[in-house]
Amino acid sequence: MGTRRFGTWNGTRRAVVATVVAAVGLGGALVAGPAFAEAPAAAAAHAEPLVPGTPCSFSARSCVDLESQQAWLIENGNVVRGPVKIASGGNGQETPVGHSLRVYRKEQNHLSQESRLPNGDPAPMPWSVFFEDGGIAFHAGSPERSSAGCIHLEPADAEAWFQFLQIGDMVQVVKASEEMAARNPQPPPAPA
């Protein structure tokens, strides 16, 4: 029995321990990785200059700052509208952050299939510009009330977003403090 170690309880236990150690080591690298490495889209955005007065890069056609609840329209690195007041998602339905979101659909008189009016009818989402899976869009809505993930704009602003943005245009949805930290990393503390 001494030659058939892997088939014995001791051999099996060693194999299991070795597998767990390897998995923990690999898992630790995977868990630690994102804390130190940016996603490719974020890294590309951070390599570009910021549009003055916004937390977004030159390639964005629209910028949303979730912290200040403001948005901008951008053309060739210049703000052409904004900042305007917005309301983003809340209550467990936060607006997703993204550095390379793209406009994929526009619908002037969209009716939501996710949100309903008190009478059960689909909620209107005028001037909808969809930029993220799950029906996430800019649209007219109260900038005083959080959405189910969309970006609420005043009606005149929603119409401007609808008219300005085209299919394929890049949208960046960010948190300004995180953008500044990513662009200006602090050096590690000196050894004690």
DSSP H or E stretch at residue 174: strand 170-174
Is the per-residue pLDDT at 190 higher than 90? no
Q: Is residue 187 part of a domain?
A: no
Instruction: Collect contacts of 73-82 with beta carbons under 8 A, ≥24 apart.
Output: 73/160, 73/161, 73/164, 73/165, 77/49, 77/51, 78/51, 78/52, 79/51, 79/52, 79/53, 79/54, 80/164, 81/157, 81/160, 81/164, 82/54
Q: Is residue 188 part of a domain?
A: no
Q: Is residue 176 part of a domain?
A: yes
- Condensed to tens digits (0 to 9), the pLDDT of residues 120-167 reads 999 889 999 999 998 899 999 988 888 888 999 999 999 999 999 999
The structure tokens 């029906």 sit at 135
Cα 119 to chain center, whole Å?
Answer: 32
Same domain, 15 and 88: no
Task: Tell me the two tokens of residue 167.
Answer: 């299919």
Q: What is the pLDDT of residue 53?
A: 96
Q: Residue 111 belongs to a domain with what CATH number?
A: 2.40.440.10
Cα–Cα dist 184/45, whole Å: 14
Same domain, 85 and 127: yes
Into how many domains does the chain fold? 2
- Condensed to tens digits (0 to 9), the pLDDT of residues 70-121 reads 999 999 999 999 999 999 998 888 999 999 999 999 999 999 888 888 999 9
Same domain, 67 and 111: yes
Instruction: List beta partners, residue 46.
Output: none
Domain of 137? 43-182
